[in-house]
């Protein structure tokens, strides 16, 4: 029995910038490491913009923390007690957006299963290698908690299902990417790279060259492949190596299948690349989860349903599948791995 915790960090192309400066700052937010890099000829402006981004990250983290006191935990308590709860305009909008995203992904991504996440021990920065009580697990599954059970009248949120508990862990990092991009642009920053635990968005370029990022190999150190990101594109990964524990030789990741109540075990990693758009960051985070959980028979169906054209999936046995559009963009630092290209 052992406890393991791993995070995915993409590799950034950080060669010397010559005439311009690179401002970089790291922090630990959303339970993971975040990095913001700004390229420009005004270092003071870059540092100021990065500071604004990190303040927004910290605000979002504190406001919507799933197990430390926050507006989100206050709402979850009200749901558990069967009370209506008035929430901020921002939270009301987050709930509406995540409800729509969950519906699009056939509720394989469902922020309403927070009690299930807690039962598995993932409401902690350190995980114990202990399986949840079977009785409690069956009770929760029978209750069918889902974000679709929430109703809103203005900013008043109610739920007829007391088993619903919101956890934005599979969604908020993407929201933060979009917020960061907006903040940087508003402050006159046009060339930057934002990384939140492996969810990455590119702005502009680095001295006219596209930002190149690495797609982490789920079982090896270093990247599986690299890809250049155009202005505004975002890339996100869901992997069984980021938050997990092992017990009796079996890996239990934090990516739970709402249908069974158990961690998905048929996939090592799914990475998706999202074209530039106002919600590119949000989609890079939320849309990878249903594709991961759907499994070998249905992942392409879910990808098509979500409009995802650039996907790479590593199955539990190590087989690699990549869509044709993404395959044309991938570069390899060593020998090209065996992979299957799909439409």
What angle in degrees, to the nearest 10, is found between the helix axes of 43-63 and 172-186?
A: 150
Q: How confident is the model at residue 3 (pLDDT cuts 50, 70, 90)?
A: very low
Q: Are 212 and 227 in contact (CB under 8 A)?
A: yes
Instruction: Establish if 327 belongs to a structural domain.
Output: no
The CATH number linked to 99 is 1.10.3980.10
Banded model confidence at residue 126, pLDDT cuts 50, 70, 90:
confident
Q: Which residues pair with 313 in a beta bridge?
A: 270, 321
68 pLDDT higher than 80: yes
Is 57 contained in some domain? no
Whether residue 61 lies inside any domain: the answer is no
Say if 101 falls within a structural domain.
yes
Q: Is residue 18's pLDDT more than 70?
A: no
CA distance readout (Å), 172 to 64, 72, 95, 328: 8, 12, 11, 30
| Each residue's pLDDT tens digit, 225-253 | 999 999 999 999 999 998 999 999 999 99
| Cα 80 to Cα 143: distance, rounded to the nearest angstrom | 13
Distance CA 84, CA 79 (A): 7
Residue 85, domain extent: 71-159
Q: What is the model's pLDDT at position 37?
A: 98
* Tally of domains in the chain: 1
Residue 251: predicted pLDDT: 97
How much is the pLDDT for 127?
87
Confidence band, pLDDT 50/70/90 cuts, at residue 333: confident
> Model pTM?
0.93
User: 300-337 burial by CB neighbour count: b if 16+ within 10 A, else e?
Assistant: bebbebbebbbbbbbbeeeebbbbeebbeebeeeeeee
Residue 259 confidence (pLDDT) above 60: yes
pLDDT band at 19 (very low <50, low <70, confident <90, very high): low
Does residue 11 carry a pLDDT above 80?
A: no
Tell me, yes or no, whether 287 lies in a domain: no
More confident residue, 293 or 12: 293
Q: Over 90: is that where the pLDDT of 171 sits?
A: yes
Q: Read out DSSP for 13-35?
A: -----TTSEEEEEEEEETTEEEE
- The mean pLDDT of 207-216, rounded to a whole number, is 96
Q: Distance between CA atoms of 168 and 166, rounded to whole angstroms?
A: 6
Residue-wise pLDDT tens digits, 174-183:
999 999 999 9
Q: What pLDDT was estimated at residue 92?
A: 98
Cβ atoms of 183 and 194 within 8 Å: the answer is no
Percent of the chain residues topping a pLDDT of 70: 94
256, 262, 208: which is closest to 230 by C-alpha?
Answer: 208
Residue 310 lies in a domain: no
What average pLDDT does this structure show over 138-161? 97
Residue 7 covered by a domain = no
pLDDT band at 17 (very low <50, low <70, confident <90, very high): very low
What's the chain's average pLDDT? Answer: 93
Mean pLDDT in residue range 178-200 = 97
Rounded Cα distance between 204 and 17, Å, is 15
| pLDDT higher than threshold 90 for residue 9 | no
| Assigned domain for 111 exists | yes
Q: Is the pLDDT of residue 16 over 70?
A: no
Classify each residue of 19-46 as buried b or exposed e, where b means 16 or more C-beta atoms within 10 Å of its C-beta. eeebbbeebebbbbbbbbbbbbeeeeeb
């Amino acid at each position: 029995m052992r406890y393991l915790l791993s995070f995915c960090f993409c590799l950034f192309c950080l060669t010397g910038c010559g005439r311009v400066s690179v401002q970089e700052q790291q922090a630990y937010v959303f339970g993971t490491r975040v990095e913001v890099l700004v390229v420009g000829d005004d270092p003071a402006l870059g540092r100021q913009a990065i500071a604004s981004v990190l303040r927004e990250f910290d605000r979002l983290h504190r406001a919507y923390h799933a197990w430390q006191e926050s507006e989100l935990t206050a709402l979850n308590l009200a749901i558990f007690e069967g009370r209506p709860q008035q929430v901020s305009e921002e939270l009301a909008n987050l709930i509406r957006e995540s409800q729509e995203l969950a519906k699009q992904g056939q509720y394989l991504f469902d922020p309403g299963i927070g009690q299930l996440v807690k039962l598995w021990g993932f409401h902690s920065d350190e995980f114990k290698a202990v399986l949840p009580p079977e009785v409690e697990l069956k009770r929760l599954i029978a209750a069918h908690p889902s974000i679709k059970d929430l109703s809103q009248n203005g900013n008043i949120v109610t739920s007829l299902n007391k088993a619903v508990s919101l956890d934005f862990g599979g969604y908020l990092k993407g929201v933060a990417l979009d917020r960061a991009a907006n903040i940087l642009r508003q402050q006159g920053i046009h060339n930057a790279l934002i990384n939140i635990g492996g969810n990455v968005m590119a702005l502009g370029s680095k001295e006219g060259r596209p930002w190149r990022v690495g797609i982490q190999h789920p079982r090896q150190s270093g990247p599986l492949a690299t890809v250049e990101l155009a202005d505004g594109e975002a890339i996100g990964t869901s992997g069984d190596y980021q938050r997990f524990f092992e017990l009796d030789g079996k890996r239990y990741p934090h990516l739970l299948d709402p249908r069974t109540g158990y961690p998905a075990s048929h996939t090592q990693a799914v990475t998706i690349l999202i074209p530039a758009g106002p919600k590119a960051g949000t989609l890079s985070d939320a849309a990878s989860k249903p594709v991961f959980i759907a499994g070998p028979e249905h992942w392409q169906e879910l990808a098509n349903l979500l409009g995802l054209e650039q996907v790479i999936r590593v199955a539990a046995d190590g087989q690699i599948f990549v869509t044709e559009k993404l395959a044309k963009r991938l570069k390899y630092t060593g020998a090209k791995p065996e992979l299957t290209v799909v439409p």
